[in-house]
Structure 1
């Protein structure tokens, strides 16, 4: 495991640092603590997060705030219908002084990329992110460039404005570890947004970094020591399998959904200061981890059935384990 100061970072320390990061982000993004916890869990698990919600609910602010609190290099890329793949990855330009082509890196070469309104660009440009998100590398003109860790994509999407949008294909949706929605604030939260804006006397809010990129990597590595007992692992598999057998589902969750549940449950456990996963950790992340991986039967859309409702039904139907046995992968003969 990655070490810091010669000592492996214990889960309770991961939980303390994660709480400090959340407190910092919550000082700017009012309310929505549960949604922010899910976003941070996705980052700690080493994944990418899709923020799908209506305009003006703090998606872009959330991404920028997390980048500042985590001490990460941050770039924002506005996806538009005329955006080209080279605008994402970079391209070779002719250098007249050297008489040769030189590679100019695109905005994807960063620690945290905000892919703003990702569903407003055509599939060809959307796919330019696929290799970066999955392989942590970019290939341009036959040359492969590695992306420096940590690398995370926080993408925003508008779920209802279909004019001039290109829905993300299943293959791209599957690359996101989880999908998070914020929803409208309460009246008190909305007043708090206005009050804080008047108090700081400027539009932008700047956060002091709580950790840095190196510490984030140590926190991510610490998740590997979080124990997942066999019955919890089989529970995760059963949940994913149940989505494939549900009567309303055309295509259920892939094994990547099971892995997403595993990684996010570990992150939730560490954020709680535990070095072991409990069923509640899995239940907390089931909807954001699985709902976007489910394709409903066409008639279900007419009945206004939501994939999240399917996952909730699966959670109710699949019995949760209650076991204190040691995991088989951790046993030593």
Structure 2
């Protein structure tokens, strides 16, 4: 968590800064939980997004079966960007994508909706609201927009919100992403 939150690690009392850019990609296998423990909510909130990849297609799985491990191929992949170029893009996203007060209000209305929903015992945290804002900016950037629209917010919300909120016991089996999409659908969208 220190690496994710503070961009540093501490080993035996000594702190080491991590090189920039730095990010964590973690995997989860929900089918095998024996001998593992679920992450507490405070740790889940540190992950910006949760994306379900699912199983490979039949054809892709066949290629995997025929080819065995292709791990060696990873070492021959040419990078698309240098670290400096990634940091430049991050700067463009943070400083070059405008967010209007109406969109900020919309994000706060979504946050309030999660905090007041009868489906949830705990709504979106401030850290979660910041993640929703940042990922909305990223979506706008890759859509070649210089501003965030409500559509950007709605698009990223199912990847940013569900793993951060707590559903009441009686709703634990519902599809979390669909529930969040439905909840957001009840929030009035600002008109521009």
Secondary structure, in 3 states, of the residue corresponding to 2:161?
A: helix
Secondary structure, in 3 states, of the residue corresponding to 1:138?
A: strand
Match of 2:169 among 298, 323, 327: 298
TM-score norm. by structure 1 comes to: 0.53
Runs of 4 or more above 4 Å deviation: 195-198
Which residue pairs with 2:81 in the alignment?
211
Q: Larger % of strand: which?
A: 1
How far did residue 299 of structure 1 move? 2.1
How far did residue 202 of structure 1 move? 7.6
Match of 1:170 among 23, 41, 55: 41
How far did residue 194 of structure 1 move? 3.7
Q: Distance in 2 between matches of 1:250 and 1:277?
A: 29
Q: Distance in 2 between matches of 1:212 and 1:226?
A: 22
How far did residue 214 of structure 1 move? 1.0
C-alpha RMSD of the superposition: 2.0
How far did residue 197 of structure 1 move? 8.2
Which residue pairs with 1:243 in the alignment?
114
How far did residue 192 of structure 1 move? 4.7
Q: Which moved more, 1:168-177 or 1:153-162?
A: 153-162
TM-score norm. by structure 2 comes to: 0.89
Q: Distance in 1 between matches of 2:68 and 2:115?
A: 52
Cα pair 1:197 1:203 within 8 Å, conserved: no
Which residue pairs with 1:141 in the alignment?
12
String of CA shifts for 1:143-194, please: whole Å, max 9, x gaps: 2221111111100011232211110111110110111101234xxx431554
Compared CA separation, residues 196 and 207, structure 1 to 2 (3 A): farther
Compared CA separation, residues 201 and 169, structure 1 to 2 (3 A): closer
Q: How many positions carry a matched residue from both structures?
A: 188
String of CA shifts for 1:59-90, please: whole Å, max 9, x gaps: xxxxxxxxxxxxxxxxxxxxxxxxxxxxxxxx
Structure 2 unaligned runs (5+)? Answer: none
Which residue pairs with 1:191 in the alignment?
59
Structure 1 unaligned runs (5+)? Answer: 1-129, 324-333
